[in-house]
Structure 1
Amino acid sequence: MPRHRPTAKYLVGSGKVEELRDLVKAEQVDLVIFNHILTPSQERNLERVFECRVIDRTGLILDIFAQRARTHEGKLQVELAQLEHMSTRLVRGWTHLERQKGGIGLRGPGETQLETDRRLLRIRLRQIKARLEKVRSQREQARRGRKRADIPSVSLVGYTNAGKSTLFNSVTESDVFAADQLFATLDPTLRRLELDDLGPIVLADTVGFIRHLPHKLVEAFRATLEESSNSDLLLHVIDAHEPERMAQIEQVMVVLDEIGAQDLPILEVYNKLDLLEGVDPQIQRDADGKPQRVWLSAREGQGLDLLKQAIAELLGDDLFVGTLRLPQRFARLRAQFFELGAVQKEDHDEEGVSLLAVRLPRVELNRLVSREGMQPSEFIEQHTLQ
């Protein structure tokens, strides 16, 4: 319930509070949800008046996240956000932490119960942050490994319930949990995908965004969101059938800015084409001819080839066009260039060395050559970058 001028005590005016109090009693309501951020004191004041539990937008999102978390990492991230949120609202005994610690000898000299609970909360926060930092380090190590192997990383981002997981499953032929509900995905899922015109990429499905995403959640899910901010390309999945899609697009860009991903290359993917009339799967291009957006239906499998084509074009924008010198001992490497369809012409010098005129994405050239334990510069006769 929005209000243009929030009051310090209740957020809403006293008249509205009385009206809601009567409604709560008449309908025997046991939970009131405000689609707004409440201060801890406002929550307590409203609970005293309504005589039931009151939560704000942040509390609701945290509750939904808690229900959706399935992996150990996801549960840790949700717990971190919940504890950060709870730390400003701790006004009475927090007995579940006592049970975790055994309940004996917890209180220091002169400590009140509230002080003990706050100390236990700080300890738990440190434990969770340490574990998540380890997860973050492991993810960073994996990303460095992919970079060394010259495997591009592509992440799906977008407003919650835009169809990211359905698209992920359709493109990679996976079975990641997908449902018509908010925040069905909390944990990043990575799959290797082979593109005909490019080679292997790693595709990541990540947590969905939402309007006024609480900052505590962004911080708690930093390890997950960094999968997007370290990608070579972002696929911004948009619900083409959603009337509020422009506002959702704007909100996604706000979150991308917050996690430092605002300058990454972005391909807009307008999903749920099957719910529209008169729109066919297609690639729309910018003034330079580069793919800008793709229209498709993940559920019906329409336009998936166009999406793969657009990804390959954008990631292969830095093409290698030139001649490679391949001595006879690299016959296997020579055959791989032919298998890729990258060879435009072949000559031989007086020593029998193969001179291959090739055209292929630089990332693919690096991948093939690195398998031989070599660097591209050791084979290049002449080249042009496009």
Structure 2
Amino acid sequence: MGLLDDKKRVNELEQERAVLVGLITPTQNEAKAREYLDELAFLADTAGAVTEKRFLQRCEAPNSTSFVGKGKLAEIASYVHEHEVGLVIFDDDLTPKQMAHIEKETGVKVLDRTTLILDIFARRAQTANAKMQVELAQYQYLLPRLTGMWTHLERQRGGIGMRGPGEEQIETDRRIVKTKISLLKQKLAAWDKQKVIQRKNRGKLTRIALVGYTNVGKSTLMNVLSKSDVFAENKLFATLDTTVRKVVIQNLPFLLTDTVGFIRKLPTHLVESFKTTLDEVRDADVLVHVVDISHPQFEEQIEVVNKTLQEVCDAGNKEMIMVFNKIDQFSYVPKDADDLTPRQRENIPLDELKSTWMARMGDNCVFISAKKRENIDELKHLLYNKAKAIHMQRFPYNDFLYNTYDDLDDPQAE
């Protein structure tokens, strides 16, 4: 035990210590701001940072120079110096001007939400394609910020026509970044063409895609249904690469795709870069929307995913199955009969939530625990019926199911 404790202490020392900063505004109340900071803390933990303290400030809008007010920034700087914290993370995007000013006042590294997510994606990317997608997003995020990053190298302004080396360096770096962006786009376009050919070679097999908020259990469910070993972890964005497996239920084959999870305030550059993942969603016949029923704000997460699917994937009209996962982690706190305050999510029994969502979705709704394998047979039955209906539309005169799919992996009969 002593050796394990020593290793744990070493790991804790290696982790960066961070403070989180968020705003309470007319469009974002305190409850919402605290919830966003909870998610930011999870992002920080995924990136390897330990959250020491959270700072919230109520204001009409972010300060154009310091994001928060001068007094709050001084409070943050004082805490950072006193407790030897090396990282300040803001829940919203910062301008180069804001970042430079905050770094000057605090004397430590400053990140915004987008930078943190990009760092996590860079850590998680395993394949060459995923690494290229992340690198493209990083350069696209960096390009408009080069001017602010080079202000510390500018000389005093001279006479007419005199430009400091900082400005020349900005132009040089801008050309380099633009060239890299162009090359990465060319490589990704070539890779996309290969993926299009691969999708065509899959024939007319029914395609079902798992979609959902990050860390809701998509990869775990993928492993259960396909008997594979897709990496799954209780971290945000545990998997970035699109994974496609052939699943066979009662001798009926279909393709099951695991996609990258969505998140609130997902950087636009990442959405654009991960076009191939979104293509898998566009090409799917059925979407399986996996939801973490144990999360207090699961309904808002559903809205985030649906909005993202509609805006960037044009997949809002596809047939969808709602799979409420993690029923084994669902907690219910009975409400006092004399309590007149509005009911919260934790005061609603699971049975009531089931009846509510099943009334909305009809048969396209199931409650499971992928980790505990609860109600998996019910989900398989639902997937089988969907795949069978699509198969019979495509092969109305075929009385065999999968003998023509020899080019795929051997079926794993259930």
Instruction: Give the structure-1-normalised TM-score.
Output: 0.74
Q: Partner letter of residue 219 of structure 1?
A: E
1:161 paired with 2:183, answer no
Q: Which moved more, 1:286-295 or 1:212-221?
A: 286-295
Distance 1:270 1:287, change over 3 A: closer
**Which residue in 1 is equivalent to 2:376?**
304
How much has 1:204 moved relative to structure 2?
0.4
Distance 1:288 1:49, change over 3 A: closer
The alignment covers a number of residue pairs equal to 313
**Which residue in 1 is equivalent to 2:43?**
none
Q: C-alpha distance in 2, partners of 1:162/1:234?
A: 15
CA RMSD, aligned part only? Answer: 2.9
How much has 1:145 moved relative to structure 2?
2.7
2:177 to 87, 97, 121: 121
Structure 2: 5+ residue stretches without partners: 1-21, 26-60, 151-166, 332-349, 405-414
Contact 1:3–1:11 (8 Å) recurs in 2: no
1:2 paired with 2:55, answer no
**Which residue in 2 is equivalent to 1:189?**
243
Higher helix share: 2
Contact 1:284–1:291 (8 Å) recurs in 2: no
**Which residue in 2 is equivalent to 1:347?**
none
Please give the per-residue CA displacement for 1:141-174, whole angstroms capped at 9, x wherever unaligned: 222233xx32011110111100000000011000
Contact 1:150–1:366 (8 Å) recurs in 2: no
Q: C-alpha distance in 2, partners of 1:23/1:372?
A: 67
How much has 1:315 moved relative to structure 2?
3.5
Q: C-alpha distance in 2, partners of 1:15/1:201?
A: 59
Higher strand share: 1
Structure 1: 5+ residue stretches without partners: 95-110, 319-359, 374-386
Superposed, 1:1-386 pairs within 5 Å as 1-4=22-25, 5-91=61-147, 112-146=168-202, 149-196=203-250, 199-259=252-312, 260-276=314-330, 291-317=363-389, 361-365=392-396
Larger Rg: 1
How much has 1:276 moved relative to structure 2?
3.4
Distance 1:32 1:125, change over 3 A: same
Q: C-alpha distance in 1, partners of 2:199/2:355?
A: 29
Q: Which moved more, 1:363-372 or 1:30-39?
A: 363-372
Contact 2:124–2:239 (8 Å) recurs in 1: yes
Q: C-alpha distance in 2, partners of 1:297/1:37?
A: 36
SS in 2 for 1:2: strand
Distance 1:193 1:363, change over 3 A: farther
Q: C-alpha distance in 1, partners of 2:394/2:356?
A: 25
Instruction: Give the structure-2-normalised TM-score.
Output: 0.70
Distance 1:188 1:284, change over 3 A: farther
**Which residue in 1 is equivalent to 2:3?**
none
**Which residue in 2 is equivalent to 1:98?**
none
Distance 1:367 1:152, change over 3 A: farther
How much has 1:186 moved relative to structure 2?
0.4
Contact 1:150–1:367 (8 Å) recurs in 2: no
How much has 1:270 moved relative to structure 2?
0.6
How much has 1:367 moved relative to structure 2?
6.4
How much has 1:125 moved relative to structure 2?
0.6
Contact 1:3–1:12 (8 Å) recurs in 2: no
Please give the per-residue CA displacement for 1:198-251, whole angstroms capped at 9, x wherever unaligned: x21110001011111111111111112221122101100001111110111111
Q: C-alpha distance in 2, partners of 1:283/1:296?
A: 14
SS in 2 for 1:209: coil
SS in 2 for 1:291: coil
Distance 1:367 1:40, change over 3 A: farther
Contact 2:96–2:149 (8 Å) recurs in 1: no
